[in-house]
Amino acid sequence: MDTGDTAWVLASAALVLLMTPGLALFYGGMVRAKSVLNMMMMSFGALALISVLWVLYGYSMAFGNDVGGGLTGSPFEFFGLSKLLGTEGIDKGFAATHLVFTIPALAFVAFQAVFAIITVALISGAIADRTRFGPWMVFSGIWATIVYFPVAHWVFAFDGAQSKTGGWIANKLLAIDFAGGTAVHINAGAAGLALALVLGKRVGWKRDPMRPHNLPLVMIGAGLLWFGWFGFNAGSALSANGQAAEVWVTTMVATGAAALGWLLVERIRDGHATSLGAASGVVAGLVAITPSCSSVTPLGAIAVGALAGVLCALAVGLKFKLGFDDSLDVVGVHLVGGLWGTIAVGFFASASTTAGVDGLFYGGGVDQLWRQAVGALAVLTYSFVLTYVIGLAIQKTIGFRLDKEAEVEGIDGVEHAESAYDFATAGGGGRALTSTIAGAPAQADRDRDGARGVNA
Amino acid sequence: MKLVTAVIKPHKWEEVREALETFGVTGMTVSEVSGYGRQKGHTEVYRGAEYDIALVPKVRIEIVVDEADVEDVVGIVVKTAQTGRIGDGKVWVLPVDSVVRVRTGDRDEAAL
């Protein structure tokens, strides 16, 4: 066991965990004031639920030995994680029986858990303002189980790291997806598209101005995502080494270049560089550099990032042309950015990086390019089809979408019985129900309630 | 007594208040409102999607004044709030039947 590696991976896991609350702010600021709490709750709900499922059987499905001809890992192999505990070496100041590379298996469990959480949370951006919370939670659990855990197995389970037989994309296809362009972003993006189609358009879509209610929240969210993403990418080295440093730098520079690319498109096309454009460009760059961060040079990362910013800025307009209400552009940013970043490895990979592979532009021919394309298309297709089926099944059984009247009134009040902002100096015209706040109501309240026939 | 209501550009509000105080107006009710007239709204662009935002922010001032001061007060507001550009706002005057000062119970002119 290496204590330096372990410290870095544990710290990275905490960084990545913060990305989900960051995403909640990023998404929450973009919706209207009447739906910000529900938007944030979809992220927090995923955070709560997936952390439990991950410990129960999720990790095992992703990193257990193949079952079902390689479709997924065995859900029973590490069920509940007890098998990964150990006291060996406790007298030497550490305790770990099971190692994944140079770190305790449970550090790897922690790091991979937060990837599963944010992938589920990412989908929620496509279905803002109109999704009932209970069915969203049901969807989250089913989707993680039959879509994310298997796909994470394909992409992240290397033979021999945790169990003998890992996933086909990582070990047979040899596509390079360093931190999850396929498993996280293409996966969530395709799922978002499928759910946006199942749930349909919001009331007033294309007619009412559905502008962001709080852009500073969006900027804070984008900042937290960028910060956490250093754990996401550089932590994926699973070691505090040169590769982690290399990846840190490509992650920084691609993101900066993408923000510039997005702003340039806006300046030329719309006349103004916007704060929403800067925040969106940051996320588009982070998405695109996620699969490619270990295989492109710092200069290559600038190209990958800048092109991601331009491509995604153009792609977010597609929904208006094609007519699907992907409310916060999960498709335009995560699917398009994830596809671009994954394919970009085939073009921009350089053998001078730790990935050690040349792409088309570096004299490596098309060998890596087709591997990347196959991996990307496999995840896209699997995720889209299964998500569509899960979504439809939920809609036809327990119902998925809020009724139209409640949607217009505002989902926060209807689904959570809360309002995000209270600016009313006169208390909003309400009165505290004292029996629930202070126990027994004060005598004066009792008298008044009695007189009015109120049963507080 | 008359109720003078003025809807003006927000950046003119401080100047208008100073001018009215100099004249001798001792109080007023002010609210931040939104609306539109000939000025119409403006365009905002979010991720390339253009929105026509019809409502423009304005400040509404309400003052109850003595019959004799109406023309002066209206004149001061118009003169101070004027920029000559579209969207400067409106001032209108309505009759007021009676006024009561809540603290003392004083009525009408004594309550102004």
**Residues in chain A within 8 Å Cβ distance of B51:** 209, 211
Q: Does B46 contact A317 at a Cβ distance shorter than 8 Å? A: no
Residues with Cβ within 8 Å of residue A117, at least 6 apart in sequence:
A17, A20, A46, A47, A50, A51, A54
Nearest CA to CA, how far is A320 from chain B (Å)?
9
Instruction: Give CA–CA dist A162/A347, Å, rounded.
Output: 31
Q: Quick one: closest CA in B to A262, which residue?
A: B47
Q: Give pLDDT < 70 ranges for chain A.
A: 89, 91-97, 424-430, 434-456
**Cβ <8 Å between A276 and B47:** yes
CB within 8 Å: B47 and A280: yes
Measure A426 CA to nearest chain B CA, in Å.
Answer: 16
**ipTM for the assembly:** 0.79
Q: Find, in chain B, the residue whose alpha carbon is nearest to that of A317.
A: B48
pLDDT at B109: 87
User: Could you say which of A209, A212, A316 has the minimum Cβ distance to residue B48?
Assistant: A316
Residue with token string 């492109």: A296
Percent of chain B's residues with pLDDT above 70 = 100
Measured N-to-C along each axis, helices A275-292 and A242-269 cross at an angle, to the nearest 10 degrees, of 140
Interface test with B, best of A270, A274, A325 (most B CBs within 10 A): A270
Contact B47 A329 (CB under 8 A): yes
Contact A211 B44 (CB under 8 A): yes
Give the 3-state secondary structure of residue B62.
Answer: strand
Nearest CA in chain B to A277: B47
Q: Are A11 and A4 in contact (CB under 8 A)?
A: no
Tokens read off for A154: 């394909």
Residues of chain A neighbouring B46 (CB-CB closer than 8 A):
211-212, 274, 276
Rounded alpha-carbon distances, angstroms, from residue B67 to A159, A324, A438, B21, B98: 92, 61, 53, 18, 13
pLDDT for A86 equals 78
CB of B43 within 8 Å of any CB in chain A?
Answer: no
pLDDT at residue B97, rounded to an integer = 95
> Distance between CA atoms of A142 and A408, rounded to whole angstroms?
29
Amino acid A87: pLDDT: 72
Mapped onto helix, strand or coil, the DSSP state of residue A420 is coil
Tell whether the model's pLDDT for residue B102 goes beyond 90: yes
B97 touches chain A (CB under 8 A): no
Q: Where are the domains of chain A?
A: 3-409
- CA neighbor of B110 nearest in space, from B73, B64, B59, B78: B64
pLDDT value for A433: 72
Q: What residues in B contact A329, CB-CB < 8 Å?
A: 47
Q: Do A211 and B52 touch (CB under 8 A)?
A: no
Nearest Cβ partner for B49 among A272, A280, A320: A320
Residues B45, A211: C-beta atoms closer than 8 Å: no
Domains and CATH numbers, chain B: 7-60+67-89 (3.30.70.120)
Q: What is the pLDDT of residue A443?
A: 56
Chain A residues with CB inside 8 Å of B53's CB?
209
Give me the pLDDT at residue A438, please. 61
User: How far, CA to CA in Å, does A394 sit from each of A47, A116, A143, A391?
Assistant: 21, 21, 11, 5
**Architecture (CATH level 2) of domain A3-409:** Orthogonal Bundle (1.10)
Tell me if A266 and B45 make a contact (CB, 8 A cut-off): yes
Chain A: nearest CA to B45, how far in angstroms? 7
User: Whole-model pTM?
Assistant: 0.88
Q: How far apart are CA A436 and CA A299, in angstroms?
A: 61
Task: Give the count of beta carbons closer than 10 Å to the beta carbon of residue A89.
Answer: 13
> How far apart, in whole angstroms, are the C-alpha atoms of residue A376 and residue A85?
35
Residues B85, B99: Cα–Cα separation, whole Å: 36
